[in-house]
Amino acid sequence: MKYLGNRNRIPRLIGLTSIFLAITSLTEASAAFDIKISVDQTKSYVRSNPNLIGLNVGWPGNGGALFADGQVEMRLFQLMTGLANGPLRYPAGEWADSYQWMDAVGSPRPNTMYHPSAVSDAKAYEKINFGTDEFRAYCRSLACTPVFQINMHQGNDDEVVARANRWLEHIATHPSDSIGPLPKVEYWELGNEPYLKGSPDSNEWASSYLYLSKEEFATRAAKVMDAMQKKHSELTKNSTSKLKFILPFALDSWRGEYCKNPDPNYSYCSDSSTVVGSQLGFGKALIDRLARSNQLSNIHALSLHYYMPLVGAIQANPPDDVTFYWATMAGTATVEKNIQKVRDFWTSNVGTSTPMPRLSITEFNSLYTTTSGLRQEGFVASQTGAMYVMDMIRLLAYQPDVDMAMLWSASQNGYFGAIDFFDVAPNYPTYVRPHYKALQMGRDLLQKDALVVPLNVEAPTYDGYTTRVGASHPYPKMPLATAAATITGKTVRVLVLNKDIGSDGRVQLTVDGKLATSVAGTVVKAGKNSQFSTSNQKLISIVENIPVATDSSANGKTSFSWLMPPTSFGLITFTLQ
């Protein structure tokens, strides 16, 4: 996608000619390598997308403690405001599969039955205190975009359609509360991750109440989109107003074809491109059925989930920590290839006559194992996990067809919540995890009205990651640094990740122009030898100011230099005259 503006003026405005990063390789501890990062003048600048900084917000546990005793939990709310106003997805993931919105409005509210997990038929009962209108009010306070997921599994087609349309009617007939207008809901996701009959993994993964065949899910999706769009036109009295449907989608594997020989140490084919099983032929069956129903044009975006390295259920012989580390660092390369395979799939199976929908990354985070109790389960909440989140934001910033991205998840939720909260009197301690800090830095990078600067990156490589771990494919020439940059007016922001596990990186940045202001820089790093630490808060993730040296002696240019610690990401900001 080309930036629709006067492209020829932008490079001179930016004045960013080259960035040099010297970094010491893990394999050659005494050697330093220059890494050149330069503006790619062959590519156009695209608009920055603040909607890449989104979150999943579930309803159980009062919205993960965001809502308590009938009101907003203010300490957590203040932390949520630190992540700007991107999209919030509700009722979040598998909790949508048994969500009864009717039990979550008005008062009194019953103890509603739901299934806490998609992998079990176990039932739980809880009042939905953080319901539709409370969530919309929360979005209003944060100025965020609500994304609602439809329960696609409970009931037959007619019952699912009727329940969804009544939800639309409720929102239309409750446009405000005692404080003021509530946000409208444009984005509707058709469920979460389809759990399919007949897949090789279905007996291990999905609860019986979730089972649908590929064709059943596709038929249901077509009926829901058609009926909801008609109901929306009726309610708004505007036939041109369109809802934005997000369609769950998956190729058969990260590579685009299913691996037929599952790894012996894991309980299922770990190259499967979702966390719920192989879904063989799901993408084609879905698109073919929607094409026959003339519903392809109703799809606003395809929903994709990206967890890395996603080993799954470890049966024996888990990878060692160093191997897990490099599998995490390689994860975004697998994601980038998979995104392109999704584009290629659409072109091959639909063609160009129907424009491809946008892409919504409705869930992403690091994920190491689904086996509860293993120490590797906690790696999600480590600095290494945050490096994956930061690198994902960097990657997605350069994908103009990605509409939004939402981290799994906002708060609590095991190791996944960006914010953790302990319900322990009297202090009720609250703290943020490393991936919260990655989201904050992404927010600072992807500001509204900024332009994303295309970069060329030449970097030394780590050559030891040659065997696939989980879903993270081999990357034998893995660059030890990645970077992104944005520009607003004459203010430049440069993000750099040092992926080396043991060595500092020395950054030298040279730009055209003189400084108008001082340089601000921040780095997020792990404590010494604590890349996978999750227990010691002082070591998990350390935030420091970056001392940045500047030199304006060169004619018309300014140079900057600073150090990047191992396993770190950092952002510097400066304004040119």
pLDDT for 244: 98
What pLDDT score was predicted for residue 8? 28
Output 421 or 328, whichever has higher pLDDT. 328
d(Cα 482, Cα 398) in Å, to the nearest integer?
A: 13
**Residue position matching structure tokens 């100011």:** 545
DSSP string, 376-433: GGGGGGSHHHHHHHHHHHHHHHT-TTEEEEEES-SB-TTTT-SEEE---TTT--EEE-
Of residues 442 and 372, the one with the higher pLDDT is: 442
Task: Kindly give, in sequence order, each residue whose CB lies less than 8 Å from that of residue 162, ignoring residues fewer than 6 positions away.
Answer: none
The bridge status of strand 87-90 relative to strand 145-149 is parallel
Q: Is 510 within 8 Å of 373 (Cβ atoms)?
A: no
- Which is nearest to 19 in space by CA: 555, 496, 571, 550? 496
**pLDDT of res. 22:** 41
Separation of alpha carbons 205 and 224, rounded Å? 26
User: pTM for the complete prediction?
Assistant: 0.92
Q: Which helix (H) or strand (E) holds 492?
A: strand 491-498
Other beta carbons less than 10 A from residue 195's beta carbon = 28
User: Distance between CA 103 and CA 81 in Å, rounded?
Assistant: 28
pLDDT for res 276:
42
Q: Kindly report, residue by residue over 303-336, the tens digit of the pLDDT.
A: 999 999 988 766 567 889 999 999 999 999 999 9
* pLDDT at site 207: 63
pLDDT mean over 456-478: 90
Mean pLDDT of 198-208: 53
Q: Are 194 and 279 in contact (CB under 8 A)?
A: yes
Percent of the chain with pLDDT over 70: 84
Q: Does 447 score more than 70 pLDDT?
A: yes
Quickly count: other Cβ atoms within 10 Å of residue 212's Cβ: 18
CA gap 324, 330 in Å, rounded: 10
More confident residue, 198 or 246: 246
Q: Regarding predicted confidence, which is higher, 129 or 459?
A: 129
Residue 13 pLDDT greater than 60, yes or no: no
pLDDT on residue 371: 80
Indicate the pLDDT class of residue 252, thresholds 50, 70 and 90.
confident
For the ranges 184-193, 412-421, 530-539, the lowest mean pLDDT is seen at 530-539
Q: Is the pLDDT of residue 30 over 80?
A: no
Angle between helices 331-349 and 321-329 (to 10 degrees): 40
pLDDT value of position 25: 35
Does pLDDT of 493 surpass 90? Answer: yes
**What's the pLDDT at 31?**
57
Is the pLDDT confidence value at 275 over 60? Answer: no
pLDDT band for position 29 (cuts 50, 70, 90): very low
Ramachandran angles phi, psi of 560, nearest 5°: -125, 145
What pLDDT shows up at residue 2?
25
pLDDT (0 to 100) of residue 267 = 41
